[in-house]
Amino acid sequence: MADTPKPLVLANARVIDPARNLDAPGSVIIVDGTVLAAGPEAANQGAPYGAEIVDCRGAVACPGLVDMCVSVGEPGHEHRETLASASQAAAAGGITTIVTLPETNPVIDDPALVDYILRRARDTAIVRVHPMAALTRAMAGAEMTEIGLLKEAGAVAFTDGHRSVASAQTMRRLMTYARDFGALIVHHTEDPTLSGGVMNEGLNASWKGLPGIPREAEIIMVERDIRLAALTRARYHANLISCSDSAEVIRAAKARGLDVTAGVSINHLTQNENDIGPYRTFFKMSPPLRDEDDRRAMIAALADGTIDIIVSNHDPQDVETKRHPFAEAEDGAIGLETLLAAALRLYHAGDIDLVSLLACMTSRPADRLGLDVGHLSRGAPADVVVFDPDKPWVLEKSAIRSRSKNSPFEDARFSGRVLRTVVAGRTVYEYA
């Protein structure tokens, strides 16, 4: 991205900018990698000298997606995913900013490793990459990391990835420490002493002869964390909730004015435990897919604003870890390329309007992380996705860009296709 891209005009578009509550016909004018104008007011401004003009033919142009829950194998597990391959997958899915989890080898728990991720991203990635750093050394849940130094090095938030901090005392200290630096804690809410199963606890697990994970494993941890957040006045984000009772806890916390937000994976909004079918390991993930009542509760919580953010929970696993009997397979599914398309299922089903849906993947995660992306205001970084919300397509395994292929949406039919992805004014993906 060293040289300056030439001006770009995305004309005849349906411009949606959730940050401004804008949904209107218009254009997006991009100069020097930033937004010059976006919306109806841009339609009659003409084009800058030498601009490339793209006729969007009524397709949606909105801020590029911000995905704040992405696992990347680099460093240590490059055979599963690299920053380069993850960024290619993200661009194809309309995601222009990925926020990586620290669960690599070694774990990102040192300022030098934060710097390593930033430098590798600068040299190899085609979308923006921001790392989260570990809450505890080696994500072991015991010794706190140097949050201040890690934040200074470039970490945008702090998490132990898909592990929970079991000790309430440790979490209290972490929240107190993080508060003093204004740092955001992003926590996986699953009590490890209750989560010894491999799928949602219930009749379905019993019929399959598999040990279940009770909903209480999540609910207890969410309730504990909210009480600690109230005690310490910390900035807290429950990363992946999946149960109706968890949403109720978050809803009550917000009503009390706590600085608390919640996220949900697109899998838990569009799939349930029945999708596991005959022990299909691509549907084994953490937290586990719940029943249909919980899935509907997650959608309701998303629609009323209790849940703020939708993530892909991109977690690449290769055949060596996924092609096993269900109970022995690793958790995780890829999702960068299908985040937007899967989310549009909620819009097409009438569960949520398009502006609110896109806010959960653009302005809200950007605001929570303090990133100047996710909006199309004048002077904003020109990160834009153009997509046709009605264009049908099928996810074929051979077309997946991630190094790992463990998608629960393999062979799925979608309505909604990314046509173009722009990062800093430069086209990084174009649908052929």
The string of pLDDT tens digits covering residues 182-216 is: 999 999 999 999 988 999 999 999 999 999 999 99
Q: What is the rounded average pLDDT of the residues 279-285?
A: 96
Q: What is the pLDDT of residues 293-350, one digit of tens each?
A: 999 999 999 999 999 999 999 999 998 899 899 999 999 999 999 999 999 999 999 9
> Nearest 10 degrees: CA dihedral of 80, 83, 88, 89?
50
Other beta carbons within 10 Å of 293:
11
Domains, the chain, with CATH or none:
8-62+380-430 (2.30.40.10), 64-369 (3.20.20.140)
Please tell me the predicted confidence (pLDDT) of residue 43.
86
Closest Cα to residue 402, out of 318, 323, 330, 322? 318
Q: Are 359 and 308 in contact (CB under 8 A)?
A: no
Q: Are 308 and 253 in contact (CB under 8 A)?
A: no
- Does residue 1 surpass a pLDDT of 80? no
Q: What is the pLDDT of residues 142-186, one digit of tens each?
A: 999 999 999 999 999 999 999 999 999 999 999 999 999 999 999
Rounded CA-CA distance 159/272 in Å is: 26
Q: Considering the chain, what percentage of its residues have pLDDT values greater than 90?
A: 96
**DSSP H helical ranges for 47-131:** 83-92, 111-124
Rounded CA-CA distance 153/379 in Å is: 26
Residue with tokens 């934040």: 151
* Residue 228's pLDDT band (cuts 50, 70, 90): very high
* Residue 4's pLDDT band (cuts 50, 70, 90): confident
Closest Cα to residue 377, out of 7, 6, 19? 19
Please tell me the predicted confidence (pLDDT) of residue 432.
82
Q: Which amino acid is at 158?
A: F
Q: Are 90 and 312 in contact (CB under 8 A)?
A: no
CA distances from 261 to 148, 268, 370 (A): 22, 17, 14
Rounded CA-CA distance 172/174 in Å is: 5
Q: What is the pLDDT of residues 356-370, one digit of tens each?
A: 999 999 999 999 999
Q: Are 61 and 98 in contact (CB under 8 A)?
A: no
- Does residue 423 surpass a pLDDT of 60? yes
Phi, then psi, of 266 in degrees rounded to 5: -65, -25
What does the buried/exposed string (b/e) look like for 142-159 if buried means 16 or more CB atoms within 10 Å of the residue's CB?
eebbbbeebbebebbbbb
Q: What is the pLDDT of residues 365-391, one digit of tens each?
A: 999 999 999 999 999 999 999 999 999
Average pLDDT score, the chain: 97
- Does residue 243 surpass a pLDDT of 90? yes
Q: What is the rounded average pLDDT of the residues 414-427?
A: 98
Question: Which sign does the torsion angle of CA 76, 79, 84, 90 carry?
Answer: negative
Please tell me the predicted confidence (pLDDT) of residue 359.
98
Q: What is the rounded average pLDDT of the residues 71-87?
A: 96
* Residue 72's pLDDT band (cuts 50, 70, 90): very high
Q: Which amino acid is at 418?
A: V
| Residues in CB range of 410: below 8 A, 6 or more apart | 282, 395, 397
Q: Are 340 and 385 in contact (CB under 8 A)?
A: yes
CA distances from 144 to 3, 69, 117, 172, 421 (A): 41, 21, 21, 11, 39
Q: Are 385 and 421 in contact (CB under 8 A)?
A: yes
| Residues in CB range of 85: below 8 A, 6 or more apart | 401, 402, 403
* Residue 2's pLDDT band (cuts 50, 70, 90): low
Question: Which sign does the torsion angle of CA 58, 305, 260, 292 carry?
Answer: negative
User: Is the model's pTM score more than 0.95?
Assistant: yes
Rounded CA-CA distance 422/420 in Å is: 7
Please tell me the predicted confidence (pLDDT) of residue 323.
86
